[in-house]
Amino acid sequence: MLERIKESFTESIQTKIDALEALPESIEKGAMAMVHCLLSGNKILCCGNGGSAGDAQHFSSELLNRFETERPSLPAIALTTDSSTLTSIANDYSFSEVFSKQVHALGQRGDILLAISTSGNSQNVIKAMEAAVNRDMTIVALTGNDGGAMAGLLSDNDVEIRVPSHSTPRIQEVHLLVLHSLCDVIDRTLFPQED
């Protein structure tokens, strides 16, 4: 098993090296879209399934609370956390609508939807994106593989940050780095520090 463990580390490091080549421009574009959204008094809604639900919550908590430095709270909502809402929508309608109904209710023109999926094919995330388009929101999509159906739903104002990998855990590991990088650029742009 030691070899297997070392392989996981090597694969993860290599995926990050590949992402270093592929992603900085799209991360900067996504961060600037978020900065513009926050400066306009808008908010960020975040969604994803499984590990990506955890990522959505991780990111929203870093905006609502703090990242690395002291600064005011920033408005973000994870759509993955209210079990009464999630279970009733899934029970009465369909699991594919658990995020889209919340986007329809909470989303406003100028808000951002942070849509996270390693496959790009999760139906509930796709429907959330459709609801965001309907609400005149901008979409920042974190994907992997070939971007899946999510890639086809994006317009020029939206941003796709697609990790160059076909492995769900490796993609998730880079998604976390991307989210921290987004937080870092947002904080440094909104609250410049001398260092």
Ligand X SMILES: O=C(CO)[C@@H](O)[C@H](O)[C@H](O)[C@H](O)COP(=O)(O)O
Cβ contact 75:83 at 8 Å: no
Partner whose binding site includes residue 75, from Zn ion, ligand X, none (CB under 5 to 8 Å by kind): none
Of 49-68, which residues contact Zn ion (CB under 5 A)? Answer: 51
| 41 versus 152: smaller Cβ distance to ligand X | 152
- The reply to whether 12 sits near ligand X by the rule CB under 6 A is no
- Residue 81: HSE in the Cβ half-sphere, 13 Å Cα cutoff: 12
| 51 versus 110: smaller Cβ distance to Zn ion | 51
The CA–CA distances, whole Å, from 9 to 13, 23, 68, 118, 168 equal 6, 20, 26, 19, 14
Q: For ligand X, which residue of 69, 81, 88, 169 counts as binding (CB under 6 A)?
A: 169
DSSP 141: E
Measure the CA–CA gap between 22 and 121, rounded to whole angstroms: 21
Among the listed ranges 18-26, 43-51, 74-82, 183-191, the one in contact with ligand X (CB under 6 A) is: 43-51
Does 92 show up as a binding residue in the annotation?
A: yes
Measure the CA–CA gap between 171 and 119, rounded to whole angstroms: 9
Does 51 show up as a binding residue in the annotation?
A: yes
| 118 versus 124: smaller Cβ distance to Zn ion | 118
Q: Find tokens 């390693």 and name the residue.
A: 118
Q: In this structure, is the dihedral angle defined by the CA atoms of residues 52, 53, 54 and 58, taken in order, positive or negative?
A: positive
Does 121 show up as a binding residue in the annotation?
A: no
Partner whose binding site includes residue 117, from ligand X, Zn ion, none (CB under 5 to 8 Å by kind): ligand X
The two tokens of residue 193 are 């520090």
Q: Contact residues for ligand X (CB under 6 A)?
A: 49-52, 117-119, 122, 125, 168-169, 172
Binding residues for Zn(2+): 58, 62, 172, 180
Annotated binding site for substrate: which residue ranges? Answer: 49-51, 62, 91-92, 117-119, 122, 172
